């Protein structure tokens, strides 16, 4: 059985992995992206920045209603994405589609006249490695929070 060691961020209290990303239908370049391992999401997602690095015109993608933490929102969908994981073995994980997460903007305190003021910086939504990718990999997620270690195993 092959394994990929996950990285743990003590500050953000989450596990991440690095994967190669490719969209063959676009003839896109292979890019490397960091993914948050998210067992709460059924569908993997790319950050806006990763989609842009792949040359994706996000405005031309079809959208689907997607349930989030606070509401159901329309999210762009990118078909035919392949993730490449490199651990003790190299494995390609073809996904029918992934969501593309747009950057979030925070509203600042009310300005003059009570109108909200937008802060200059956007909050970048991270790429997410979801349960769909783990299932397609036929993988297993092993997490030991006491040791702050995690692995994805497959094969």
Strands (DSSP E) contained in the chain are 2-9, 14-23, 31-37, 45-47, 63-67, 72-86, 90-101, 107-110, 116-118, 127-129, 140-144, 149-154
Note the pLDDT tens digit of each residue in 94-109: 999 999 998 665 545 5
- Domain spans of the chain? 2-106+119-154
Work out whether strand 72-86 and strand 63-67 pair parallel, antiparallel, or are unpaired.
antiparallel
Query: 17 pLDDT exceeds 70?
Result: yes
**What pTM was computed for the model?**
0.84
Query: 115 pLDDT exceeds 90?
Result: no
Specify the CATH number of the domain 2-106+119-154.
2.40.70.10
Q: Compute the C-alpha angle 2/31/16, nearest 5°.
A: 50
pLDDT at 113: 57
Q: Residues of the chain with pLDDT > 90: what percent?
A: 69
Centroid of chain to Cα 13: 16
């Amino acid at each position: 059985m092959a394994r990929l060691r996950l990285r743990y961020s003590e500050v953000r209290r989450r596990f991440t992995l690095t994967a190669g990303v490719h969209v063959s239908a676009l003839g896109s370049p292979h890019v490397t992206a960091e993914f948050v391992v998210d067992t709460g999401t059924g569908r993997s997602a790319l950050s806006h920045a990763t989609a842009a690095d792949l040359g994706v015109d996000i405005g031309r993608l079809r959208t689907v209603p997607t349930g989030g933490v606070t509401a159901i929102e329309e999210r762009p969908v990118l078909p035919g994405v392949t993730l490449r994981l490199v651990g003790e073995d190299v494995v390609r994980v073809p996904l029918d589609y992934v969501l593309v997460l747009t950057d979030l903007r925070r509203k600042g305190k009310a300005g003059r006249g009570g109108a909200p003021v937008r802060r200059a910086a956007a909050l970048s939504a991270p790429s997410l490695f979801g349960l769909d990718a783990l299932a397609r990999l036929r993988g297993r997620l092993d997490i030991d929070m006491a040791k702050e270690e995690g692995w994805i195993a497959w094969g």
